[in-house]
Structure 1
Amino acid sequence: MLTRFLIAALVLLTACAPAPAPFTGPMIIGDADPVRFAGRQPSTFPVRGMDAARFQTRVDWERAKAVGIEFVFLKATEGGDLLDPMFQDHWRGAGRAGIKRGAYHFYYFCTSPEVQARFFIRTAPKTRGSLPPVLDMEWNPFSPTCQRRPDAATVRNEMQRWLDIVTAYYGQRPIIYTTPGFYDDAELNRLKGYEFWLRTTAKTPSEAFPGQRWRFWQYTSTGTLPNTPGAIDINAFNGSRSDWDSWLDRRTVR
């Protein structure tokens, strides 16, 4: 009798609980401030993704996947001791939604590359099928703790030391993310054998990085996704869907 009473009460409570509000926004990858590029438009690339960090406090990963987000790069670490507070949540959420995920490290010029590499390795899981790690290289003139701005040769030397350690651990060469100004200042065209993820929101990669081959293009920081508040960085993969599948076969972590 007690069991039947409890079941009946549970059914009643469930029936009285308010249903979640249905989603009414557009089911698309949008852009609040779209740019008309001089060359090929990024929306024409068949494989697109996003990146996320602590600024994205809530992401509806299932809906992101439903509208065509196929990959995501997530900020894991900065310098030698700064863990992105949203990394674990984002990593789990993207994984549950079936979105290909990878982790990135924001480089800090006042900590040795060895310390930074070891910190990243302790933080970013070596998960089978995940995307290659990423080294984010850009100037940060607003840093309250580090105003160091090394010359180009020193920058590339420090980068190489980080890259070598991380490559050895994950079994994949990292991708290098950068901006036009940093790319020119550090003469990153001298780095050979690495894939590039390029940020350029006003020009195409061929205009902003003449002669540089690229794998990913971060083309907007004003992207929008259903049921996800705030602006989102949206990226395009340089290739066809078949290229994407082949790239994943070669480049995911084993």
Structure 2
Amino acid sequence: MRRLAALALACLVAGCSTIDDLGVSSSASMLPPQNAKATVGYPVMLNPRFGDNDPHEWTARTPFQYAVHGTDVSKYQRTVDWATARASGISFAFIKATEGGDRVDDKFQEHWHGAKTAGIPRGAYHFYYFCRPAAEQARWYIANVPRDRSSLPPVLDMEWNPSSPTCKLRPPAETVRSEMRIFLSMVEKHYGKKPIIYTSIDFFEDNNLASFTGYHYWLRSVADHPSDRYGAHPFVFWQYTGTGVVPGIKGNADLNVFNGSHADWRKWISTNEG
């Protein structure tokens, strides 16, 4: 979720694998239908390998071993051609909606509708602000994010923000976890879906989030596999770079993988949509 300055750079994806390349049976249930754009959640391409403007040399456990890849966007991705992004292998998107108790991302509505039109499952995330009560922030998120049965679960983005010009506060870990529970409970009650927690390595460690269980996690780790930095803590999504190259997205793109197979993804989607 790092704020990214737009770069005037566009590249093509290299080394992508299709379903046939992976040796999967070409049954009707595993191949994209002719009108793939209209089928939400159906990956057009499995195991895509996107470019990177600042590539990391992965060792044993790489993001490219995962079948389902996606992105997350905010106002810093000013223009997104969602149909092109989907055709390149983007199978899901998380879109910044709100921050604190009085900010809505400038591009939220455009990205929210654009991703859905292209048939990409998408969810909305809230960037937490430590100088406002959690309940106030939850009400702000609820006021600005539609209750759409087809959307992915809400996301609470928890990370320190040392560059904030208005809030340098770092509450004690007990306070952080208490406020998280308030936000998550209010949002789950409204949308009927258990939210996802996005976090970074330092925030996870500083606030002992290993003890904060009962939620799906989306973990940032751009230099190691999550298991090398978060131990055995379970995760559903892994953000593996903030400098990816995705056709249809101008400049740097955040890239993520779903922690499971294509079949696991279809099951997870059916459980968490609707």
TM-score, normalization by structure 2: 0.82
The amino acid of 1:58's aligned partner reads: T
CA–CA separation in structure 2 for the residues paired with 1:26 and 1:215: 27
Q: 1:203 aligns with which of 217, 221, 224?
A: 224
The alignment partner of 1:211 has SS state of coil
Q: How many residues align?
A: 230
CA deviation map 1:159-185 (0-9, x unaligned): 000000000011111000000000000
- Distance in 1, matches of 2:118 and 2:226, equals 30
Percent of aligned pairs sharing the same letter: 50
Q: Which residue of 1 aligns with 2:244?
A: 223
Q: Is the 8 A contact 1:76 1:84 kept in 2?
A: yes
Distance 2:243 2:12 in 1: 16
Q: Does 1:50 align with 2:36?
A: no
CA distance in 2, matches of 1:182, 1:120: 22
Letter paired with 1:115: E
Match of 2:95 among 74, 81, 95: 74
Aligned to 2:255: 234
**Aligned equivalent of 1:127:** 148
Structure 1 segments, 4+ long, off by >3 Å, are none
Deviation at 1:27, TM superposition (A): 4.7
Which of 125, 131, 138 is the equivalent residue of 1:104? 125
TM-score (norm 1): 0.88
Q: Does 1:184 align with 2:208?
A: no
Alpha-carbon deviations, 1:178-232, whole Å to 9, x = none? Answer: 0000000010011111010000101110011112110000000011112421000
Contact 1:179 1:199 in 2 (8 A): yes
Contact 1:109 1:149 (8 Å CA) reproduced: yes
Preserved contact between residue 25 and residue 227 of structure 1 (Cα < 8 Å):
no
Query: Which structure's CA Rg is the greater one?
Result: 1
Which residue is equivalent to 1:88? 109
Q: Which residue of 1 aligns with 2:34?
A: none
Matched, 1:26 2:12: yes
RMSD over equivalenced CA pairs, Å:
1.2
Name stretches of at least 5 consecutive residues in structure 1 with no aligned partner.
1-23
Stretches of structure 2 that go unaligned for 5 or more consecutive residues are 1-9, 15-49
